[in-house]
């Protein structure tokens, strides 16, 4: 029987409200015991003194790029990046080629991930066929094949009528609709946030109202239908405030924010580095503060990376031509420790809620907690360790990070999936 003993770590499990020093015994891929002292000899052991032992992190917003854009990322490289970043489950967006808008593609991704992946992959199906925003994709069939949510991410669902139908259909399977909020007639042609910085830099802007309008629309539809909606990558103070009010009024809405939107402003665009080009764009200091406040008071439920790898040559182009997107899997945890934990925005338990428990709940996954009987998906980090981000050492194929050269706190030491260490200080290569 395969066993693993994790001793002396600070176990953080928001679901059971556990925050203390415990030993964890893993057996046959499951958590067998969590106790103050587990005395066992001849069992492989991880000494976790001074480390944090958390339920495996879950990223509900990842672009894996396969099929179709393997030059940017593959299921293999993307899941390796996820494991390196401490994620044991990721949900991947359907804006691939072909678009994941039918059951066979949902199946394809899961089979490929089982064969080559380092972590668990849960596909998100498209809302509309081909992400065209015209006709609903077969959501029921995709659900049966294993889809965990639906989104046209990359594009907004422009038609309110289609969005209403999507909410109603998804609710029949208790699935959530993830909304990329962007009013395209306002954002079209924009390269960065519209404001003082875009004027100084002479670039066309994307107004914050482009997000605000669509958040308001989705709140209206969620309220009207009584169905669940999840707002992707909230970036504006106005968006956060709308969500806060809607939640108070009992609307079934949840929201996520990305590490780049809580740690960078549009000042980062100053050097015209295309690695700062992302959608929604980096916003103002006021917006960043609102996102931080939203994370703190529970308005924003989830931290998701929106990991969006692109090829070096694509990002090397001038700002105007480079595609939107930032890689995030390997920088998320250090950014969260540095900007949220060390600045007392979140407690460690709240951080685990946002990076594991809440995404599991929103996607109806039986994960996100460390409890006896649960699958042993566990992430062990050193919250004190400081490390410089080096874009040339990422496991992702993407190099497009604006955090290159930054020194951040918090290092992932072990990522354990079903009781197996898939990320160690050294890599245990799977199938190689």
Query: How crowded is residue 138: how many other Cβ atoms within 10 Å of its Cβ?
Result: 17
β partners of residue 27: 3, 30
279 annotated to a ligand binding site: yes
Closest Cα partner for 383 from 4, 23, 10, 7?
Answer: 10
Site for Zn ion in 102-161 (CB under 5 A): 153
Determine the Cα–Cα distance for residues 21 and 416; give it in Å rounded to an integer: 19
Minimum CB distance to Zn ion smaller for 89 or for 350: 89
260 annotated to a ligand binding site: no
190 interacts with ligand NCD by CB under 6 A? no
Shortest distance (Å) from residue 65 CB to ligand NCD: 8
Among 239, 325, 402, 419, binds ligand NCD (CB under 6 A): 325
Among 6, 34, 143, 278, binds ligand NCD (CB under 6 A): 278
256 interacts with Zn ion by CB under 5 A? no
180 annotated to a ligand binding site: yes
Residue with tokens 């005395």: 39
- Residue 43 near residue 5, CB atoms below 8 Å: yes
23 interacts with ligand NCD by CB under 6 A? no
Minimum CB distance to ligand NCD smaller for 213 or for 367: 213
Shortest distance (Å) from residue 367 CB to Zn ion: 21
Site for ligand NCD in 55-74 (CB under 6 A): 63
Give the CB-nearest residue to ligand NCD. 324
Determine the Cα–Cα distance for residues 98 and 109; give it in Å rounded to an integer: 12
Per-residue x/- mask for Zn ion, residues 163 to 192, rule CB under 5 A?
-----------------x------------
Minimum CB distance to ligand NCD smaller for 131 or for 170: 131
Among 154, 334, 368, 410, binds ligand NCD (CB under 6 A): 154
Site for ligand NCD in 304-323 (CB under 6 A): 306, 308
269 interacts with ligand NCD by CB under 6 A? no
Question: Hey, which residues are catalytic here?
Answer: 306
Determine the Cα–Cα distance for residues 18 and 8; give it in Å rounded to an integer: 14
Shortest distance (Å) from residue 178 CB to Zn ion: 9
Closest Cα partner for 390 from 84, 118, 119, 91?
Answer: 84
Minimum CB distance to ligand NCD smaller for 73 or for 301: 73
**Cα diameter, the chain:** 66
Residue with tokens 């049966």: 144
Minimum CB distance to ligand NCD smaller for 397 or for 411: 397
CA separation (Å) from 21 to 38, 67, 420? 12, 43, 22
Query: How crowded is residue 143: how many other Cβ atoms within 10 Å of its Cβ?
Result: 21
261 interacts with ligand NCD by CB under 6 A? no
- Residues with Cβ < 8 Å from 263, sequence gap 6 or more? 288, 335, 338, 339
Shortest distance (Å) from residue 72 CB to ligand NCD: 8
CA separation (Å) from 335 to 58, 195, 260, 407? 16, 26, 8, 10
Shortest distance (Å) from residue 78 CB to ligand NCD: 12
Q: DSSP string covering 214-243, please?
A: HHHHHHHHHHHH---EEE-S---HHHHHHH
Minimum CB distance to Zn ion smaller for 120 or for 261: 261
233 annotated to a ligand binding site: yes
Give the β-pairing of 3-13 and 18-27.
antiparallel
212 binds, among ligand NCD, Zn ion, none (CB under 5 to 8 A by kind): none
- Residue 231 near residue 222, CB atoms below 8 Å: no
230 annotated to a ligand binding site: no
Shortest distance (Å) from residue 353 CB to ligand NCD: 23
Site for ligand NCD in 352-381 (CB under 6 A): none
Q: How many CA atoms lie within 13 A of 164 on its CB side?
A: 9
- Helices H, strands E: what count in the chain? 14, 18
Minimum CB distance to Zn ion smaller for 73 or for 153: 153
153 interacts with ligand NCD by CB under 6 A? yes
Q: Under DSSP, is residue 351 helix (H, G, I), strand (E, B) or coil?
A: helix
Query: How crowded is residue 37: how many other Cβ atoms within 10 Å of its Cβ?
Result: 9
81 binds, among Zn ion, ligand NCD, none (CB under 5 to 8 A by kind): none
- Residue 279 near residue 261, CB atoms below 8 Å: no
- Residues tagged in the binding site annotation: 61, 63-65, 95, 153, 180, 233, 279, 306, 310, 324-325
Residues that bind Zn ion (CB under 5 A): 153, 180, 306
Residues that bind ligand NCD (CB under 6 A): 63, 95, 153-154, 180, 278-279, 306, 308, 324-325
- Residues tagged in the binding site annotation for Zn(2+): 61, 63, 153, 180, 233, 306
């Amino acid at each position: 029987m395969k066993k693993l003993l994790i001793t002396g770590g600070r176990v953080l499990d928001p679901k059971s409200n556990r925050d203390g020093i415990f030993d964890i015994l893993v057996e046959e891929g499951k958590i067998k015991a969590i106790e103050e002292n587990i005395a066992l000899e001849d069992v492989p052991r991880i000494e976790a003194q001074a480390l944090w032992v958390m339920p495996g992190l879950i990223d509900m917003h990842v672009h894996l790029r396969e099929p179709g854009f393997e030059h940017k990322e593959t299921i293999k490289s993307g899941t390796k990046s996820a494991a390196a970043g401490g994620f044991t489950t990721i949900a991947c967006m359907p804006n691939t080629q072909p678009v994941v808008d039918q059951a066979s593609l949902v199946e394809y991704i899961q089979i490929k991930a089982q064969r080559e992946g380092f972590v668990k992959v849960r596909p998100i199906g498209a809302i509309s066929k081909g992400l065209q925003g015209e006709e609903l994709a077969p959501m029921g069939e995709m659900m049966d094949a294993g889809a965990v949510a639906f989104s046209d991410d990359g594009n907004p669902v422009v038609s309110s009528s289609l969005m209403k139908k999507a909410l109603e259909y998804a609710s029949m399977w208790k699935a959530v609709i993830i909304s990329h909020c962007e009013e395209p007639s306002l954002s079209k042609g924009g390269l960065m946030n519209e404001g003082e910085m875009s004027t100084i830099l002479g670039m066309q802007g994307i107004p914050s109202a482009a997000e605000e309008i669509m958040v308001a629309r989705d709140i209206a539809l969620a309220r009207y239908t009584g169905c669940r909606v999840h707002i992707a990558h909230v970036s504006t103070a106005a968006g956060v405030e709308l969500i806060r009010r809607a939640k108070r009024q009992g609307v079934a809405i949840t929201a996520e924010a990305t590490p780049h939107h809580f740690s960078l402003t549009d000042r980062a665009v100053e050097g015209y580095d295309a690695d700062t080009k992302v959608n929604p764009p980096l916003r103002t200091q006021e917006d960043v503060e609102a996102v931080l406040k939203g994370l703190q008071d529970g308005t924003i439920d989830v931290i998701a990376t929106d990991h969006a790898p692109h090829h070096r040559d694509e990002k090397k182009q001038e700002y105007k031509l480079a595609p939107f997107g930032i890689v995030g899997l390997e920088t998320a945890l250090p950014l969260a420790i540095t900007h949220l934990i060390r600045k007392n925005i979140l407690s460690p338990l709240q951080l685990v809620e946002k990076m594991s428990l809440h995404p599991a709940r929103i996607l109806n996954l039986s994960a996100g907690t460390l409890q006896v009987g649960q699958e042993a998906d566990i992430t062990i980090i050193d919250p004190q360790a400081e490390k410089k981000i080096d874009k040339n050492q990422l496991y992702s194929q993407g190099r497009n990070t604006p955090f290159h050269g930054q020194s951040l706190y918090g290092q992932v030491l072990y990522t354990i999936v079903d009781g197996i260490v898939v990320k160690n200080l050294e890599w245990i290569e799977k199938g190689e």
